[in-house]
Amino acid sequence: MPNHPYRVDENWGKIWRDEHGVPHVEASDETGLYYGMGYCHAMDRGMQMLLMRILGQGRGSEFLEASDEMLAIDTFFRRMNWAGAAAPEIDKLAPEAKKFSRAYGDGANACFAKKIPWEFKLLGYRAEPWKLEDVILLARMVGYLTLAQSQAEIERLFIEMVQAGVSREKLDELFPEILGGLDIELLKKVKLSERIVPTSVKWNHIVPTMMASNNWVISGTKTASGKPILANDPHLETNRLPNVWYELVLKTENRYAMGATMPGLPGILIGRNSDVAWGATYTFMDAVDSWIEHCRDGRFLRDENQWTEFRQRKEIIKRKKKPSVEITFYENEHGVLEGNPFEGGFYLSTRWAPSTFGAASLNSAFKMWHAASVEEGMHHLGRLESAFNWVLADRHGNIGCQMSGLMPKRRAGISGFVPLPGWKKENDWQGFVDYKDLPRCLNPEAGFFVTANDDLNKWGIAKPINICMGSYRASRLSQLLAERADMTVEDNFKIHYDVYSLQAELFMRILKPLLPDTPQGKVLREWDYRYNPESEGAFLFEQFYQALLQEVFGKNGFGKDVADFLAKETGFFIDFFDNVDRILLSKKSAWFGGENRDNLFRRVAENALKVAPMPWGEVNQIKLTHLILGEKLPGFAGFDRGPVALRGGRATPHQGQIYKSAGRITSFTPSFRMVTDLANDEVHTNLAGGPSDRRFSKWYGSDLENWLNGKYKSLKP
């Protein structure tokens, strides 16, 4: 019997909370389950749902605020046009997927009809019905938010490097083997209306920033239970309340599914059913390309001398108590033009592969309810249109990995990283790669499989990754998993919280004999390479590393101000530190300005280590702030929590990264942790927050202490 029943509806089923506040939805069929899921999302995370939809539609200026910043956010979302062209995708929904999506919307609307979050009442917003179009919208948004955007931004930054005069030698070192087709003189002619450096207003003011993750799966041959164990900890922006994830348990008479959902979307995104478990990390698939368009008189060049008119899409952005703004977007088969084609010149058109899709992802995601084997799960998850690395396990003892995402087919020698002339037909996409050619494996010989946003190209026929995070986390996780043949759930809890840095170990092999004979040098020399909150060594290593970045890429590369901006205000050195470290660890590099590497390390260390040592936890702290009212009310009001010390760094399995984006603090650290042993029907989790986004609910931040202290709760069907 339920411990805390709070709603019973004989027409479809019932909802109750367990002792952790996690809702359980019970129904006679799947339609009832998705109705109940929609109701729960609207009740506990209605603010999150409505905000995501308002932003995705590009209507923040209409409903939230009429600032210039919000206008820029709306312009971004209108440019992406995820709220448009939904009708063709709705037509592609399978009958069951359409029925379940409608049931989800009906449940959400039933809750919103009773009550909408009071924050929206203050704004004068009346909730519109949740429709199929909204499900398509959020399916598109979730696949792009910072994940694909990080690929787009690094490609944009590359153009800025070219235009700033960074030499070809340095570019080849920083981006090896992916610069096929580069025409430096042509790129210098491209007009960029928005630049990464200096910063422009970012669109992710309210939308959660998503980034790194770990997941792994262990064969029963290496576990104490004899059945597979699967673990996942998506590293997203955690300095916000509510958490982006929402936990649910779904159950019919003969089947269950439980795990993490995302409000606004029907389905368990990370979790398990009665037979199969699955976990996701983002894969840095290059599914975003830009083309150089030669424009004049509102037209673009094709072939030798064919000038074609752009499609024009006019968008009207309404603004509270201000005049509306009309914006015209110019589009062709390469996406949306950045610029005005009536002003002659060279501009970029950019396209994200899944931008007009969504139905196939929903059709496949709903099928995971019935998935009974790893192979069946790989088949369903592989068809998702956004790029993720999935690990899977089943009761039969099988484990596997499958990458998903629409990978464009490009001509030989072209990676997709460098913008190419749009007027040459051979530079167009030639369809998409079959998911079976993407990296995947079934029952690997090692007895486990790890993904941590690293390079998985060797596991596929196609090579979708041309730039990614370093292998430090994946290598450390593999080390820990290889050590034992009797792994338990509790062992995996400890791995989630591991803060050993293989990156630091590599650098310290070079740095240790070069350290100054000072108290700081002694602390760093004796450091164990762990980013514990009390560690002074972690603090001093970061002083050295950040100074080294500034010296190499500031003094000898981008310039001090630009390098400082990249380090503090963007994810460049956070997302793509593998490319950076490849240079820093080299014996010789064009980026060293002719200096010997050891002399460079010694000189930087002498200057950087003059600071007084501090515990890492004193400088690596975040405050979890309310999504709308964060830091606008006094602390005793309880909308914000913290500050809390973050363990970990950029290269540790438990990440703990903090930087600014558009002037606000953001963070990457495990937002949700999950471990499940297929020998039983339990999922062990903790969450940086709680089930509810209602400040005065007992479930507002109810799991935060567990998350901080390494304690796990158990979800059971």
Residue 28 burial by Cβ neighbours in a 10 Å radius (0-12, 13-18, 19+): exposed
10 Å Cβ neighbour count for 332?
20
Give the mean pLDDT of the chain: 91
Q: Taking the mean position of all CA atoms in its chain, how far away is CA 32?
A: 30
257: CB partners within 8 A, 6+ apart: 249, 250, 268, 271, 272, 273, 274, 368, 369
Percent of the chain residues past pLDDT 70, beyond the cut: 93
Q: Which residue has the tokens 């702030």?
A: 625
Give pLDDT tens digits for 548-591.
999 999 887 777 777 777 777 666 777 788 899 999 999 999 99
Tell me whether residue 122 is in a domain: no
Q: Looking at residues 55-62, what average pLDDT do you find?
A: 94
Q: Domain containing 534: what range?
A: 502-618
Query: What is the distance between the alpha carbons of residues 448 and 31, in angstroms, rounded to a whole number?
Result: 36
Q: What is the pLDDT of residue 485?
A: 94
Give the count of domains, the chain: 1
Q: Which residue has the tokens 């703990």?
A: 656
Q: Looking at residues 324-353, what average pLDDT do you find?
A: 96
Q: What is the pLDDT of residue 207?
A: 53
Q: Could you tell me the pLDDT band of residue 205, with boundaries at 50, 70 and 90?
A: very low
10: CB partners within 8 A, 6+ apart: none
Whether the predicted pLDDT of 97 surpasses 80:
yes
Q: Looking at residues 317-322, what average pLDDT do you find?
A: 95
Q: Which residues of 445-462 are buried (b: 16+ CB within 10 A; e: fewer)?
A: eebbbbbbbbbbbebbeb
Nearest residue to 244 via CA among 270, 226, 218, 273 = 270
Collapse the DSSP code of 450 into the 3-class scheme (helix H, G, I; strand E, B; otherwise coil) and give the result.
strand
Residue 541 burial by Cβ neighbours in a 10 Å radius (0-12, 13-18, 19+): buried
Tell me whether residue 537 is in a domain: yes
Tell me whether residue 575 is in a domain: yes
Tell me whether residue 586 is in a domain: yes
Query: What is the distance between the alpha carbons of residues 108 and 42, in angstroms, rounded to a whole number?
Result: 5
Tell me whether residue 600 is in a domain: yes
Tell me whether residue 558 is in a domain: yes
Tell me whether residue 363 is in a domain: no
Report the CATH number at residue 591. Answer: 1.10.1400.10
Among 155-159, 579-583, 602-606, 688-692, the least confident range: 155-159
Cβ-defined contacts of 636-645 (< 8 Å, 24+): 637/695, 638/695, 638/700, 639/241, 639/695, 640/241, 641/241, 641/701, 641/704, 642/239, 644/708, 645/533, 645/616, 645/617, 645/618, 645/620, 645/621
Tell me whether residue 695 is in a domain: no
Q: What is the DSSP string of 242-261?
A: S-S-EEEEEE-SS-EEEEEE
Query: What is the distance between the alpha carbons of residues 672 and 715, in angstroms, rounded to a whole number?
Result: 14
Query: What is the distance between the alpha carbons of residues 700 and 637, in angstroms, rounded to a whole number?
Result: 13
Q: What is the pLDDT of residue 675?
A: 98
